[in-house]
């Protein structure tokens, strides 16, 4: 079984995917972490982030891999764990450029499709491109202000600065971030995290009841 949870930046995808995965007793897969890790490694190596061939060679040379778990994904470059370095503002600012490269997208998609089922997959194009055959699909939204207020609790920047960065990332991610026609769209703005998780679980379990 595959459940997909797509949505805009900071809409709650990873928190909801983790909660749903834990309730179902299966791992979740955070596709954005692979794009973030590619960006971090590219920045560290001083590579131009729009040069796909050099970037891909660098990723393969560093044995980049995702470790899916229900309680939080980990990302490794060989023996080095990158996980805690992937949510910096520097990575945020560069990741859309890396995610726009078709060669990098194909590499990430191949990594994801090689993972053993079952799992909950979260990202931008899980329900549309990567796992169009998924059993249940969701797309999370919330206004930029609501998302910025949530993010401000975990970042040093002020709400207006975060809101402007989120709005810009929404714009850059538009091409790959759209709800699948068969996805259930959930506005998380008025809901608690637990409320969103319950709504997703109710839909996933409905066909089984
Ligand atoms: N419904 C909700 N109510 C309140 N807070 C929430 C809700 N959903 C998520 N949050 C909080 O919002 C923040 C962003 O959530 P999360 O990191 O899961 O989003 P994301 O979509 O995975 O982000 P990104 O696109 O940057 O990877 C977290 O602090 C999370 O706890
Ligand atoms: N399936 C995906 C997942 C992520 N991206 C891009 C878009 C984001 O700017 C970036 C980081 O993702 P996040 O951690 O915010 O979920 O990666 C994508 O294009 N496709």
Tell me how many domains the chain contains: 1
Rounded CA gap, 120 and 43, in Å?
A: 29
Rounded CA gap, 82 and 191, in Å?
A: 32
Predicted confidence at residue 76, as pLDDT, reads 95
Q: What is the largest CA-CA distance in the chain?
A: 53
Sheet hosting strand 80-81, strand order edge to edge:
64-67, 74-77, 80-81
On whether 88 is known to bind a ligand per the annotation, the reply is no
On whether 7 is known to bind a ligand per the annotation, the reply is yes
Taking the centre of ligand 1 as the mean of its atom positions, its distance from the CA of residue 142, in whole angstroms, is: 10
Predicted confidence at residue 92, as pLDDT, reads 85
Residue of 6, 7, 32 best suited for mutating to test ligand 2, as the one with most atoms within 8 Å of CB: 32
Taking the centre of ligand 1 as the mean of its atom positions, its distance from the CA of residue 188, in whole angstroms, is: 9
* Cα angle 111-123-186, degrees, rounded to a multiple of 5: 150
Rounded CA gap, 64 and 80, in Å?
A: 10
- CATH label of the domain that carries residue 145: 3.40.50.300
Taking the centre of ligand 2 as the mean of its atom positions, its distance from the CA of residue 142, in whole angstroms, is: 16
DSSP code, position 191: S
Nearest CA to ligand 2 atom 16: 32
Q: Mind listing the pLDDT tens digit for each residue in 12-62?
A: 999 999 999 999 999 999 999 999 999 999 999 999 999 999 999 999 898
Give the mean pLDDT of 72-92: 93
- Residue 30 corresponds to which tokens in the numbers above? 């955070």
What confidence tier does 209 reach under pLDDT thresholds 50, 70, 90?
low
Contact 161, 149 (CB under 8 A): no
Q: What is this structure's pTM?
A: 0.93
Identify the residues whose C-beta falls under 6 Å from ligand 1. 7, 9-15, 32, 150-151, 153-154, 188, 191-193, 196
Domain with 51 in it: 2-208
Distance spanning both ends of the chain, measured CA to CA: 16
Rounded CA gap, 60 and 41, in Å?
A: 11
Predicted confidence at residue 192, as pLDDT, reads 96
ipTM (interface predicted TM)? 0.96
Instruction: Give phi and psi for 191, each to the nearest 5.
Output: -110, 150
Of 122, 179, 181, 171, nearest to 144 (Cα)? 171
- Residue 98 corresponds to which tokens in the numbers above? 């890396």
* Cα angle 189-168-186, degrees, rounded to a multiple of 5: 25
Q: Mind listing the pLDDT tens digit for each residue in 54-79?
A: 999 999 898 899 999 877 899 999 99
Cα–Cα distances in Å, from 79 out to 8, 21, 27, 75?
A: 31, 26, 22, 10
On whether 142 is known to bind a ligand per the annotation, the reply is no
- Residue 77 corresponds to which tokens in the numbers above? 């470059």
Q: Mind listing the pLDDT tens digit for each residue in 146-173?
A: 999 999 988 888 999 999 999 988 888 8
On whether 14 is known to bind a ligand per the annotation, the reply is yes
Contact 142, 11 (CB under 8 A): yes
37 versus 92: the higher-pLDDT residue is 37
């Amino acid at each position: 079984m595959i459940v997909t949870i797509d949505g805009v930046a900071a809409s709650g995808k990873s928190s909801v995917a983790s909660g749903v995965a834990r309730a179902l007793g299966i791992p979740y897969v955070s596709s954005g972490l692979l794009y973030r890790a590619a960006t971090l490694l590219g920045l560290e190596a001083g590579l131009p982030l729009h040069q796909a061939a050099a970037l891909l060679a660098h990723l393969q040379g560093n044995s980049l891999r995702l470790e899916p778990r229900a309680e939080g994904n980990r990302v490794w470059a060989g023996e080095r764990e990158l996980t805690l370095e992937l949510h910096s503002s520097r990575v945020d600012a560069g990741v859309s450029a890396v995610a726009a490269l078709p060669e990098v997208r194909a590499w990430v998609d191949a990594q994801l499709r090689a993972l053993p089922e079952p799992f909950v997959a979260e990202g931008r194009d899980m329900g549309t491109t990567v796992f169009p055959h998924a059993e249940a699909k969701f797309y999370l939204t919330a206004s930029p202000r609501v998302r910025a207020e949530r993010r401000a609790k975990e970042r040093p920047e002020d709400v207006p600065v975060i809101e402007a960065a989120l709005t810009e990332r929404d714009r850059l991610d538009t091409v790959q971030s759209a709800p699948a026609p068969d996805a259930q769209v959930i506005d998380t703005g008025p809901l608690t995290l637990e409320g969103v998780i319950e709504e997703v679980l109710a839909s996933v379990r409905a066909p089984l009841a």
